[in-house]
Amino acid sequence: MELRLDGKTALVTGASSGLGDRFARLLADSGAAVAVAARRVDRLEQLAGAITQNGGRAHAVAMDVTDVVSIREGVAAAEAALGPIDVLVNNSGVSVTARIGDVEEADYDFVMNTNLKGAFFVAQAVGRSMIAGKRPGRIINIASAAGLHPLGQISVYGMSKAGVIHMTRSMALEWGRYHINVNALCPGYIETEINRDYWNTEGGRKLLAKLPRRRVGKPEDLDGLVLLLASDQSAFVNGAVIAADDGLTAG
């Protein structure tokens, strides 16, 4: 069965690079009109242009997920341009690598304000719109294997993603009655443009040697799950926390 999103409108946050860029192209290729949101509008314009040239429909939206006013204005702008949002891929995220004893307050706030506070208020804004419009919807919160299993030197990141997992379950419980399905996807180590060079360093090779199958994933390894959770075929999937980590958290 081919999973299609024709007639749907999607919003992808953190779309200026990495997984967000991949998710936006994937949803567009599957028939959705896609609003791409982030702070780097120049990158978003390039992405929206590429989607349009490929026969899709896309619109770039400036959004700072650490600013609730910016979130609400961005969601409103996306809906004004493309219509009511049916699918949210809540993807914005940052990390700081440091031992617990070395984490500064600014580091903590940087990660939590983006990954947890930002994710909450983006989902809230989209959820409010879905409820007001009496529309069913799909919200996919991008969490992490680090939210399921502690990983070294990214404690605050893991804490923020554990919060996203709990947030997902709470939203699923409250919003299920409105036919809004809220699920969390927890990727393991995925190679992106940000970390690609790291895997060829001594530290990267040591980490690879500790992984269950001595490899990292590719962004496309998440395609099937994202499409399923965004589609009508996931009607009975609500409050799920799905690890896509090649067995990293299985033990």
Q: What per-residue string of b and e applies to 201-228 under the rule 16 or more CB within 10 Å gives b?
A: eeebeebeeeeeeeebbebebbbebbbb
220: confidence class by pLDDT, cuts 50, 70, 90: very high
pLDDT in tens, 6-32: 999 999 999 999 999 999 999 999 999
Torsion of CA 100, 106, 107, 109, to 10 degrees: 100
pLDDT given for residue 193 in this prediction: 83
DSSP assignments along 96-160, one per residue: --B-GGG--HHHHHHHHIIIIIIHHHHHHHHHHHHHHTT--EEEEEE--GGGTS--TTBHHHHHH
Average pLDDT score over residue span 151-172: 97
Percent of the chain residues topping a pLDDT of 70? 100
Catalytic residue among 157, 178, 189, 198: 157
In tens, the pLDDT along 65-109 reads 999 999 999 999 999 999 999 999 999 999 999 999 999 999 999
Q: What is the pLDDT of residues 34-77, one digit of tens each?
A: 999 999 999 999 999 999 999 999 999 999 999 999 999 999 99
The long-range contacts involving 43-48, CB below 8 angstroms and separated by at least 24 positions, are: 43/16, 43/17, 44/15, 44/16, 47/15, 47/16, 47/21
At residue 180, does pLDDT exceed 80?
Answer: yes
CA distance 232 to 237: 10
Tell me the pTM. Answer: 0.96
For the chain, the structural domain boundaries read: 9-244
CATH of 9-244, one of 3.40.50.150, 3.40.50.720, 3.20.20.450, 3.30.360.10: 3.40.50.720
- 157 catalytic residue (yes or no): yes
The amino acid sitting at 221 is D
